[in-house]
Amino acid sequence: MFWGNDMTKNIASALAKAQMNMGTALKQSSNPHFKSKYADLSSVMDACLPALNEAGIAVIQPTGEDDHGRFVETILIHGESGEQLGCRVPLIVQKNDMQGYGSAVTYARRYGLMTMAGIAPEDDDGNAAAKSAPKAMDVEERRKKMDVLLGLMKKTNTQADGVCKHFRVETLHDLTDEQLEKAISMVSVKAQKMPEGTVE
């Protein structure tokens, strides 16, 4: 996609207007196993689609595959000009069945739509907005970090279930940026302790 030039000025203007009318993605879905709430795909769509559509922007989220693997692409299309903006979120399927694939697609759609619309889930605490937070990874940086983690996990025969249990998340997708960094460090230590030239 093209960014920051005459080929996106119309959609950029329409997106700016749409963002003025967007809401917050409400954390309405519950995860009883981890006693937490999160903004599901429906909440994210409710927060941004009406404003996007009113501004003449359509959203499509096809799946695809390239040299890096499978992905969901979120594409914003400006109806009047035909200009487009988009991003890709990699599909990391933990279970080789339709349920695992469906979960990965849903997560990628949610993450991609929030990224492209520029919205975020509501704060757990009303004071959270006043606190400074580290800069969030962009989609490409997070994909590279996840690739590093998966490579280390494969090298050390570390199971995804173990990492998820340690950080109290359902899937690797649910790791926060900070948890992802910690997971890489944790598995790196394990890799460094392995005898050279061996794989567990």
Closest CA to 164 of 145, 142, 186, 148: 186
Distance between CA atoms of residues 70 and 89, nearest Å? 9
**Is residue 119 located within the same domain as residue 149?**
no
pLDDT 10s digits, 65-96: 998 889 999 999 999 999 999 999 999 888 88
**Is residue 85 located within the same domain as residue 11?**
yes
**Is residue 78 located within the same domain as residue 148?**
no
Structural domain range at position 27: 1-123
Question: Above 70 in pLDDT, residue 34?
Answer: no
| Predicted pLDDT at 81 | 94
Question: At 69, which amino acid appears?
Answer: G
**Does a structural domain hold residue 155?**
yes
**Is residue 168 located within the same domain as residue 84?**
no
CB 59 within 8 A of CB 49: yes
Mean pLDDT, rounded, for 157-164: 90
**Does a structural domain hold residue 24?**
yes
Last residue of a domain, one of 66, 89, 123: 123
| Predicted pLDDT at 2 | 45
Provide φ and ψ at 15, rounded to 5°: -65, -40
Question: Above 60 in pLDDT, residue 125?
Answer: no
**Is residue 147 located within the same domain as residue 71?**
no
**Is residue 114 located within the same domain as residue 151?**
no
**Is residue 162 located within the same domain as residue 187?**
yes
pLDDT, greater one: 26 or 104: 104
Last residue of a domain, one of 123, 145, 175: 123
**Is residue 186 located within the same domain as residue 146?**
yes
The total of other beta-carbon atoms located within 10 Å of residue 25's CB is 25
Last residue of a domain, one of 123, 150, 183: 123
**Is residue 101 located within the same domain as residue 150?**
no
Average of per-residue pLDDT values in the chain: 81
How many folded domains does the chain comprise? 2
**Is residue 105 located within the same domain as residue 11?**
yes
**Does a structural domain hold residue 199?**
no
pLDDT 10s digits, 130-147: 344 455 677 888 889 899
Q: Which of 28-32, 71-75, 105-109 has the highest mean pLDDT?
A: 71-75
The total of other beta-carbon atoms located within 10 Å of residue 55's CB is 21
| Predicted pLDDT at 122 | 58
**Is residue 110 located within the same domain as residue 52?**
yes
The total of other beta-carbon atoms located within 10 Å of residue 9's CB is 12
**Does a structural domain hold residue 128?**
no
- The label of the residue with tokens 């501004």 reads 55
CB 158 within 8 A of CB 190: yes
**Is residue 23 located within the same domain as residue 45?**
yes
| Predicted pLDDT at 42 | 85
**Does a structural domain hold residue 53?**
yes
Closest CA to 146 of 91, 107, 101, 78: 91
